[in-house]
Amino acid sequence: MYHAFMTFISPLLHPGSRLRRQCLVLLTTLVVALLYLGSRPNISVIFPYLPWDKLVHATAYAGFASLAWVGLGGGSQTGPVVVAGVIGLLDEGMQYYSPGRTADIRDLVADLVGATIIVLVLKWLQAAEERRRLVPRIFTAISGKKNL
């Protein structure tokens, strides 16, 4: 099961240029939609109330950070969190100036928490994949056997 999961997720941990471009296009599209729809008056009616709205924020911005992670090549820890933070600032700024909407610093904190958690998970998975690749090589080097 672990091997199948790591095989499935490996392209996200070390993305190729095509997947990187696709994720950046998807991220841009989602951000434009978020900012457009978020500027509409009284759109907050469809969102849940405390404390569930913070979970929605954390989950959505974890998704944005995941797309940014892949789009940036899967090597940066701070880049995806910064991207999610900028999107969060833009979203809260639009809400501040939109009738019927209110900006909330706690939303921005939830955004950053979600982005940070997903980046840490992705970094951990990347390290786990590297360990999975290195252990057979180390064992082969120690034992001197070619095929295990």
The 8 Å CB, 24+ separation contacts for 31-34 are: 31/64, 31/87, 31/90, 34/87, 34/91
Question: How confident is the model over 56-90, as pLDDT tens digits?
Answer: 999 999 999 999 999 999 989 999 999 999 999 99
What global pTM score does this model have? 0.83
Question: How confident is the model over 3-57, as pLDDT tens digits?
Answer: 788 888 888 899 999 999 999 999 999 999 999 887 777 666 566 677 788 999 9
Any residues with CB less than 8 A from the CB of 116 and at least 6 apart, and which?
Answer: 65, 81
- The domains of the chain are located at 17-140
How far apart are the C-alpha atoms of 115 and 57, rounded to whole Å?
10
